[in-house]
Structure 1
Amino acid sequence: MKLHWSPRSPFVRKVSIVLEECGMMDQVERLHSVAVFAAPPNPEILTDNPLGKIPVLITDDGQTLFDSRVICEYLIGLSGHTDLLPTEPTSRIKHLRWQALADGLTDILLLWRTERGRGAHADPVILNAFETKTRAALAVLENESAELKQTNFGLGHIATVCALGQLEFRYGDCGWKAALPGLAAWYATVSTRPSVAVTAIVDDGEGPAGSVDASPSFTYRTTG
């Protein structure tokens, strides 16, 4: 199999954690592919994904699979590691819900950074909306941090750790850990898991000329 991959993509990391958990990393050839939202699509990625996004998995039988949710389900089914996405309905929905929340948060963090990169042309309404949604999503995860800890590790946890990894990578000085102690404690523990530690985000510095790498201004303050 082949995987369009970048060391700084949170969604690629999600697939990489699944590969590590399933013991399948050595079965995949990684193709270093740069994908930037606010730039012309990478033609090498477009060949396998008309959306121009990564990750993309090219299976041994020639299928091209995207996005990370589809790829992860495929890999879990192929490997038989159903512990990562249980078949029992209640447990499965729990993980799928966490995945939806975490993937949505990751999308917001990526789009928020892109909008901030527009400088004086950034829309303040959009910026405020992204911040409000980020705070709301993190508040839910804080409220459910005990349940995250008590539930067997699976796809919901993987998506959540990737969202928080993106928050730490691009918004590291925002102060979320002090404001959300339950979530921060869970994140510290899960970050020591081998599959999580070995897939930590790395900024390889690749991207189009003029891309914005400065962290957006965001300070996490609790209210009340």
Structure 2
Amino acid sequence: MKLLHSPASPFVRKVLVTLRETGQLSDVEVVNIATTPMASHPELIAANPVGKIPALIRQDGPTLYDSRVICRFLDARAEAGLYPEKRLWDVLVLEATADGIMDAAVSIVYEERFRPKEIVSMDWIEAQWAKVSRALDALETRWMSHLSGPLDMGQIAVGCALGYLDFRHDVRGWRTGRPELAAWEARFARRESMVATRPE
């Protein structure tokens, strides 16, 4: 299999962490793709008509894209139990919450990096950060018992989302007022899979 990726993407990191946690990293050729939201790489478009990373090219089936699809496939392939049936809906909601944080955080980066400075919308940026902030508050107040339980995909997604906030939005100080989530992140970030995939 071949994974089309960009090392700065939190969605790609989710897949890379999953590959490591499920022991499948050696089964996948990781290919770096230079792409932007304004001009997707031709190889990426050929694999994923939406032109987004990550994309997992398989020899025995169609290409998989969207990190949630890829991670679910990898978990099923390894029978790793990252989507446990007894907690499935909680895991899926937690993963969706983390992906929402990533979506909003990446959107801020795109607004600042790819739009002409004279039309960058601070209202848009703050609206995206408000989504992040609400999701972080929900993690702090509703999800800590789940985050502290056995490893699942919800935890991996949250770990990658928080890592992206540190990587791209550290000045926002997401830990302020969220001591339990901050303590959890400090522990989770020490996992071998997280250390190995930390963006530069």
Q: What TM-score range do you get, normalising by the shorter chain? A: over 0.9
2:13–2:160 contact (8 Å) kept in structure 1: yes
Secondary structure of 1:171's match?
helix
SS in 2 for 1:178: coil
Q: Which residue of 2 aligns with 1:50?
A: 49
Equivalence map 1:90-101=2 (5 Å): 91-101=87-97
Deviation at 1:127, TM superposition (A): 2.2
Looking at structure 1, the residues matched to 74 and 139 of structure 2 have their Cα atoms a distance apart, in angstroms, of 26
Give me the whole-angstrom Cα distance separating, in 2, the residues matched to 1:31 and 1:127: 31
- In structure 1, C-alpha distance between the alignment counterparts of 2:170 and 2:126, rounded to whole Å: 19
CA contact (8 A) 1:145 1:182 kept: no
Give identity over the alignment, percent: 38
Residue matched to 2:150: 152
- 2:112 paired with 1:116: yes
Q: SS where residue 21 of structure 2 aligns?
A: helix
**1:65-102, Cα deviation, whole Å (9 max, x unpaired):** 011101011111011112x11022xx011110011011
Contact 2:148 2:184 in 1 (8 A): no
8 Å Cα contact 2:7/2:199 also seen in 1: yes
TM-score by length of 1: 0.84
Q: Secondary structure at the match of 1:156?
A: helix
SS at match of 2:176: helix
Q: Deviations along 1:104-129, whole A, 9 cap, x unmatched?
A: 11000011121233323122332231
Aligned match of 1:64: 63
Instruction: Give the CA deviation at 1:147.
Output: 1.4
1 or 2, which has the higher helix percentage? 2
CA distance in 2, matches of 1:180, 1:54: 31
SS at match of 1:85: coil
Displacement of 1:145: 5.0
Which residue is 2:5 aligned to?
Answer: 5
Distance 2:159 2:46 in 1: 30
1:31, distance to aligned residue in structure 2 (A): 1.1
Equivalent residue of 1:57, what SS? strand
Unaligned residue ranges in structure 2 (runs of 5+): none
Alpha-carbon deviation of 1:21?
0.8
- Measured after TM superposition, the shift of residue 173 of structure 1 is 2.1
**Matched position secondary structure for 1:110:** helix
The answer on whether the counterparts of 1:145 and 1:183 sit within 8 Å (CA) in structure 2 is: no
